[in-house]
């Protein structure tokens, strides 16, 4: 068996361009300036920038990096592909420090790059969970610490709240960073089909939302009940624990404003995991589909974790 990392597009920038072009432009090059697909020529020559095309309709040059997460980055495209492969394949995530060491980048650059890859992993599906009348598990968890909120004597008001949904039949997940109950209700109503069988814990909030669905069953964690027939929230709790392990071990000090990107990363990996027949390579390719229109413009000066 040959190493997956021996593929040419990881080592040669021309190959990397060809690899990305084949996925972003399956029907041939598209001018990002005017949308044209005709009269486009590849610019050749030793001093020409790699992957450069010229559109003879609007007379402007472009590359496949334009309008994607790769735009205005000096990192070679083959190194980007290595980063995507590593991020896609590491089950618990990979820290910017590790990525910097492995790829020979500065931590700042690695941090910036990994946040862009996370952005490409953000899928924001609009289809409903539980459309087939199947079970959808819904639960919240609390992680990290909000900035400027004092430690209470008990409870979790100082922590950030994450809502998770899992469609048990498709195995897909969605995670959201939420503020409170009102938002949770809205998200559940927006993301679940009314045909769904809702599975939650006994929280009063779910009792109210539950009436909107074909069925609602709750396990009574307070009475130490975790499974009753097929009624359980163990799947979503398992996904939360993978997320928390990653956040604790790899992504310490996650700032609240970045939490949604880490959530997107875990959601992506969970929804495209090995068990569902997606291998590392297919997962990395899938990220490439999400690179278009996802430029991030914030400054890396605030680099953390």
Question: Please, which of residues 11-70 interact with Zn ion by CB under 5 A?
Answer: 31, 33-34, 36, 55, 57-58
Pairing of strands 160-167, 135-143: antiparallel
C-beta of 30 vs 143, nearer to Zn ion: 30
We find the least distance from the C-beta atom of residue 33 to Zn ion, in angstroms, to be 4
Q: Which tokens go with 27?
A: 């029907």
Which of 53, 8, 13, 48 shows the shortest CA–CA distance to 29? 53
We find the least distance from the C-beta atom of residue 27 to Zn ion, in angstroms, to be 16
Q: Which tokens go with 267?
A: 């959601």
C-beta of 57 vs 90, nearer to Zn ion: 57
Residues that bind Zn ion (rule: CB under 5 A) add up to a total of 7
We find the least distance from the C-beta atom of residue 59 to Zn ion, in angstroms, to be 7
Over the range 138-148, which residues count as b (16 or more CB within 10 Å of their CB) and which as e?
bbbbebbeeee
Chain centre to alpha carbon of residue 285: 13
C-beta of 36 vs 133, nearer to Zn ion: 36
Q: What are the start-end ranges of the E strands in 49-172?
A: 53-55, 61-62, 135-143, 160-167
C-beta of 36 vs 89, nearer to Zn ion: 36
We find the least distance from the C-beta atom of residue 190 to Zn ion, in angstroms, to be 38
CA distance 283 to 92: 15
HSE-up (13 A, CA, CB side) for residue 283: 29
C-beta of 33 vs 221, nearer to Zn ion: 33
We find the least distance from the C-beta atom of residue 60 to Zn ion, in angstroms, to be 5
Residue span 137-176 as binding mask against Zn ion, x where in contact by CB under 5 A, dash where not: ----------------------------------------
Interface with Zn ion (CB under 5 A)? 31, 33-34, 36, 55, 57-58
């Amino acid at each position: 068996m040959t190493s997956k990392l021996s593929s040419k597009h990881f080592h040669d920038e021309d190959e990397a361009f060809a690899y990305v072009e084949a996925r972003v432009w399956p029907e041939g090059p598209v001018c990002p300036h005017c949308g044209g697909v005709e009269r486009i020529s590849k610019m050749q020559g030793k001093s020409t920038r790699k992957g450069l095309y010229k559109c003879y309709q609007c007379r402007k040059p472009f590359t496949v990096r334009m309008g994607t997460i790769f735009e205005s980055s000096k990192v070679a495209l083959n190194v980007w592909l290595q980063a995507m492969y590593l991020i896609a394949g590491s089950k618990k995530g990979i820290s910017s420090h590790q990525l910097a060491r492995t790829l020979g980048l500065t931590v700042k650059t690695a941090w910036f790059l990994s946040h862009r890859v996370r952005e490409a992993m953000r899928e924001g599906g609009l289809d409903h969970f539980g459309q087939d009348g199947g079970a959808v598990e819904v639960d919240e968890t609390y992680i990290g610490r909000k900035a400027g909120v004092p430690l209470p004597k008990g409870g979790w008001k100082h922590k950030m709240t994450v809502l998770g949904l899992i469609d048990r039949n498709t195995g897909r997940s969605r995670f959201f960073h939420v503020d409170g109950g009102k938002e949770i209700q809205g998200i559940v109503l927006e993301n679940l089909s009314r045909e769904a069988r809702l599975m939650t814990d006994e929280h009063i909030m779910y009792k109210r939302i539950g009436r909107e669905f074909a069925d609602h069953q709750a396990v009574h964690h307070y009475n130490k009940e975790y499974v009753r027939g097929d009624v359980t929230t163990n799947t979503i709790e398992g996904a939360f624990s993978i997320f928390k392990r990653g956040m604790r071990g790899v992504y310490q000090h996650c700032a609240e404003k970045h939490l949604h990107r880490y959530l997107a990363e875990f959601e992506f990996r969970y929804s495209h995991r090995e068990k569902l027949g997606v291998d590392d390579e297919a997962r990395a390719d899938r990220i490439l589909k999400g690179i278009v229109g996802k430029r991030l413009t914030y400054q890396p000066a605030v680099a953390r974790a």
